[in-house]
Amino acid sequence: MLKKRTIAVVGGGAACTAFLAAYARRLSGDVAGAAADVIVFEPGKSFGPGIAYAEDAETALLNRPYSAMSVDYGDPGQFRRWLYRQASAREEAGPDARPAPRSHFVSRSLFGQYLENVFGQSREDLRLLGAQVTLVPSAVVDLDVKGGEAGGSGDDGSHVLTTADGERFAADQVILAIGAIAPSDVYGLTGAPGFVAQPYPLNTSLSQVDPGAEVLVLGAGLTAIDVAVVLADAGRERRITLASRSGRIPDVRTDLGTGELPELLSGARQLLARGRVSLRSVHELIDATLRLNGTSIREALLPYTDSWSAPDLMRYRLANPLPGGLAHRCVGALTPFYSELWRSLPDASRRLFLRDHYRTYNCLRSPMPVTNAHRLLGLHDEGRLDFARGITHVAADAGGGFTATFADGRTARYDAVVNAVGRTNNTAAASASSLTSRLVRNGTFVSHPLGGIRVDPDTNQVRGSAGTAFPRLYVIGDLASGEHFHVSSMELVARQAARVADGLVPAADRLLVGAVA
């Protein structure tokens, strides 16, 4: 009799949830008992949401409309239906129940509740198919990989995972769904009174900031915007400054259209078929699509190419939504092509893009909700929020507080500093005690020169130093970014999770096409 397989998933957040849901969908009820058991390791408070979507301030919003969020992009309306079911249940509960969403953008923690629900339902689905899902509320601190280039040895040929409390677990396949590398402490402020190193969850980390403090927020992206809104809500006497090197903020999501832009998709397929992908060809393809719809890439990028101030950018987008909105749609429509387009570019072009254009791309790819744009402008007009570019250094003062230095030579003093520089995919920035650093040091992981680690692009299996893949070791999420380019959105995480689930279910055990999950 064949030994039952075991799959270990390291990390119990959104990527893990997407994998469990995809794995359950792909298993057929006719092979109940053949499904592998699953062990999920998660040191956080709950399984499903992870840090990104944990319970937090209601003002920390998703940057995509709820109709575009799901753990299954074969069923993109799944989250929306879940929301409507919650709203219906609240209506039945009476007038004091929480109202249904009135905006296209709901809180990140509400999406986290959905993920927790999907996690629990997927766990039950797998149980009914004969798979036991065991939850281990502890971090994995070491992984001994059997076979392949890394060597290692388990008693029965399995990979061996060791947790922070010293327990050891054997698994036939291991999926690393550990999310992004924690934000760097760029200026070495850890331990200084008034410094917040990790802003999430916002309600907890920001509660220590004095209500009347002058606060410097390092970064100007979506995390920094979340921080600014929560700080402003909790202390009306606070003055807040969002500071970054470039001064660029995320664009404003001004278009909620869902059209597929067929001419853009057709053009992308033609580029790949011809094998002539270049930055110029992708630029021209997007520009042609925008021109067909009444604008141009020059007009869409104007606030960034001309280095407008953050308030001017927001006012322009709110008053003139067409160029930015259509650009967002183009960037979003190309999502299924990202990995192949990225790998088709010459190395020099990829490096050039990351150096000179990635920040602008990311502002378009991850724009802020309109609600936040109105809120930031209101705070700015009240004199409670400033935006600063060209920050070069921050030092903790001997008597308390901090002094920031800017490229133009000026300095400014602040009572508190919040680190909101965002996530990184640079493995060199990982904590020396982290699992990522340990696996880089022992040779299991090979850092990709463009970020993350080397993986097989078709399977997401980890690749060793010789370029061959470990047959039973996978990653989902940011660690695959060097190979796939953009992998941190829920959509792309879900697509990776589905790809890995495909590889772990034998072809004969997959659901028939057209069957209902």
Over 80: is that where the pLDDT of 451 sits? yes
3-state helix, strand, coil in the chain (%, to 5): 40, 15, 40
Mean pLDDT of 207-233: 94
In this predicted structure, what is the pLDDT of residue 373?
A: 96
| Three-state SS at 144 | strand
Structure tokens at 82: 């879940």
In the sheet that 239-244 helps form, which strands lie side by side, from edge to edge? 195-196, 416-419, 214-218, 239-244, 385-389
Mean pLDDT across the stretch 206-225?
94
User: What does pLDDT average to over the chain?
Assistant: 89
Over residues 207-218, mean pLDDT? 93
Report in angstroms the alpha-carbon separations of 351 from 221, 345, 363, 457.
22, 10, 18, 19
pLDDT of residue 517: 38
Evaluated on CA atoms 333, 338, 344, 346, the torsion sign reads positive
Q: Summarize pLDDT for 241-299 with one digit per residue, the tens.
A: 999 999 999 999 987 666 678 999 999 999 999 988 999 999 999 999 999 999 999 99
pLDDT, tens digit, 9 for 90 and up, residues 79-98: 999 999 887 656 554 444 44
| Whether the Cβ atoms of residue 40 and residue 9 lie closer than 8 Å to each other | yes
Give the pLDDT band of residue 135 (cuts 50, 70, 90). Answer: very high
pLDDT at 516: 39
Residue 391, H or E segment = strand 391-396
Distance in angstroms (rounded) separating the CA atoms of residues 460 and 477: 10
Quick: pLDDT tens for 412-446.
999 999 999 977 888 888 888 899 999 999 999 99
- Identify the helix (H) or strand (E) that includes residue 469: strand 469-475
Position 101 scores a pLDDT of: 58
Place 150 in a pLDDT band, splitting at 50, 70 and 90: very low
Contact 124, 26 (CB under 8 A): no
Mind listing the pLDDT tens digit for each residue in 458-516?
999 999 888 888 889 999 999 999 999 988 889 899 999 999 999 998 666 555 433 43
Tell me, what's the pLDDT at 98? 46
Q: Dump strand ranges (E) for 316-384.
A: none
Give pLDDT, residue 99: 45
CA angle, corner 173, sides to 20 and 15, nearest 5? 35
Q: Which DSSP helix (H) or strand (E) runs through 26?
A: helix 14-26
Q: Give the pairing type, strands 195-196 and 37-41.
A: unpaired
Instruction: Look at residues 193, 236, 198 and name the one whose alpha carbon lies nearest to residue 402.
Output: 193
pLDDT of residue 52: 86
Strands (E), 118-171: 133-136, 140-144, 159-163, 168-171
Please state the rounded mean pLDDT for residues 19-46: 85
What pLDDT is recorded for position 2? Answer: 60
pLDDT in tens, 352-398: 999 999 999 999 999 999 999 999 999 999 999 999 999 999 999 99
